[in-house]
Amino acid sequence: MLDKVLFYFFASIAVASAVLMVTRRNVVHSAIFLITALLATAGIFLQLRAEFLFIVQIILYVGGIMVLFVFVIMLVNLDVALQQIQFARQKWVALFVTLALAAQVGLMFWTSGKMPGGLPVLTAAAAAKLSPNSEIVARSLFESYLLPFEIASVLLLVAMIGAVGMAKKRA
């Protein structure tokens, strides 16, 4: 019961703040709601006993990326930004993509009734059974998925060097 209450608490916060983030006209308010949505998602991670993912979500997304977001937003002149039309006018594309996604999710729910065992249920592992979280993540990253991990890090490195190079040219 407690688990359910906590899950619906975090989930409703996440969904509501995601909606608010898209609909607010003020960019800073949007950023605040994005932060709330990220924190609520972190809460759901914590409920699944994925402690490491929880703290990585907070440190990287909230503490790192969002600080930079807010930093950049503050450099923008908000009064000018408010007068501009902020919403992209790709209504039809958006509608199509949303419908496709909704159909996909609906299909999953519809077919799951016929599947043996119903929807796959995610359950939190017993705390005693779990070896340290960070260790599991490290092992899967550096043993099972070493190549994709290295490719991703090379990609990030290229992006970083590219950004520095472009910034240097301007100055």
Partner 1 sequence: MNSIIQTTIEFLKAFWAPLLSGVAIVAILPLIVGYIVLVERKLMADMQARLGPMRVGPHGLLQPIADAVKLLIKEDIIPDNADKLVFWLAPVVSVGAALLSLAGLAIGPAFQIAQDINIGILFVVGVSALGIFGIVLGGWASNSHYSLMGALRSSAQLVSYETAAGMALVSALLFAGTLNIKSIVEAQSNEGIWFVMLAPVAFFTYLVASIAETNRAPFDLPEAESELVAGYMTEFSGFRWSLYFLAEYANMIVVASVATTLFLGGWLRPFAKVHELAGFHLLNFLDFVPLLLMVVIGVYCVQRAPKQPTRVQQMFMLAVAGLCFVLGLVLLAPVVVPVAKPFYAGIHGGFWFILKVSLYIYFFMWLRFTIPRYRFDQLMRLGWHFLIPLSIVNVLLVGVALIAGSYFNLKGWGLLLVTTPAAIMALIVALLILAADRERGARQDQAAASDSYAG
Which residues of this chain interact with partner 1, rule CB under 8 A? 1-2, 5, 26, 28-29, 32, 35, 51-52, 54-55, 58-59, 62-64, 66-68, 70-71, 74-75, 132-134
Where are the alpha helices (H) located in 119-145, listed in sequence order? 133-139
Lookup: tokens for 140: 């899967």
- For the bound state, the minimum distance from the C-beta of residue 52 to partner 1, rounded and expressed in Å, comes to 6
- For the bound state, the minimum distance from the C-beta of residue 63 to partner 1, rounded and expressed in Å, comes to 4
Q: Based on CB atoms, which residue is closest to partner 1, 75 or 88? A: 75
Q: Based on CB atoms, which residue is closest to partner 1, 14 or 58? A: 58
Q: Based on CB atoms, which residue is closest to partner 1, 98 or 134? A: 134
31, 46 Cβ separation under 8 angstroms: no
Distance CA 25, CA 87 (A): 10
- Beta-carbon neighbour count of residue 78 at 10 Å? 11
Q: Which residues contact 18 (CB under 8 A, 6 or more apart)?
A: 33, 34, 37
Distance CA 25, CA 82 (A): 7
- For the bound state, the minimum distance from the C-beta of residue 127 to partner 1, rounded and expressed in Å, comes to 10
- For the bound state, the minimum distance from the C-beta of residue 61 to partner 1, rounded and expressed in Å, comes to 11
Q: Based on CB atoms, which residue is closest to partner 1, 14 or 35? A: 35
